[in-house]
């Protein structure tokens, strides 16, 4: 995957964007343009190193996107929150900033997320097939 050259005043903004880009490619097979279209809503916050956005891990913002619409429609608000939390922790393992590390195992995270969704009868898009 080639990251588009997005510039951010805050170094942590670049790190968050790169984590989002890698996650959305790994889990949903989004293109760079799709990631940017989604992330654009956070652009002003990514440029402010003191923004409260950084109080949460990057995956806090991505986890909800991993819940298929058909599944979300069947869940209560509490069930959606619980599933979003479970997906986030499945990615991060320990609820930390681990996805910002260069050696983070995205394939293992994809497997953990897939297992959670499979228990509910859903899955992630397969590699090599159109979205």
Taking CB atoms within 8 Å and a gap of at least 24, the contacts of 48-54 are 48/9, 48/10, 49/9, 49/10, 49/11, 49/12, 49/13, 51/10, 53/16, 54/12, 54/16
Q: In the predicted model, what is the mean pLDDT of residues 45-58? A: 88
pTM for the structure as a whole: 0.84
CA dihedral 99, 101, 102, 106 (to 10 degrees): -20
Looking at residue 2, what is its pLDDT? 37
Number of helices (H) and strands (E) in the chain: give both, helices first: 7, 0
Confidence check: pLDDT of 30 > 90: yes
């Amino acid at each position: 995957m080639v990251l588009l050259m997005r510039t951010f005043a805050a170094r942590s903004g670049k790190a968050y964007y790169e984590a989002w880009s890698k996650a959305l490619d790994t889990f949903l097979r989004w293109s760079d343009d799709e990631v940017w279209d989604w992330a654009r809503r956070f652009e002003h916050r990514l440029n402010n190193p003191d923004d409260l956005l950084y109080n949460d891990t990057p995956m806090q913002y991505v986890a909800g996107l991993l819940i298929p619409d058909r599944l979300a429609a069947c869940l209560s608000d509490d069930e959606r929150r619980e599933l979003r939390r479970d997906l986030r922790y499945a990615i991060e393992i320990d609820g930390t900033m681990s996805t910002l590390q260069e050696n983070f195992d995205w394939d293992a995270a994809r497997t953990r997320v897939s297992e959670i969704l499979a228990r509910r009868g859903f899955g992630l898009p397969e590699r090599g097939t159109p979205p």
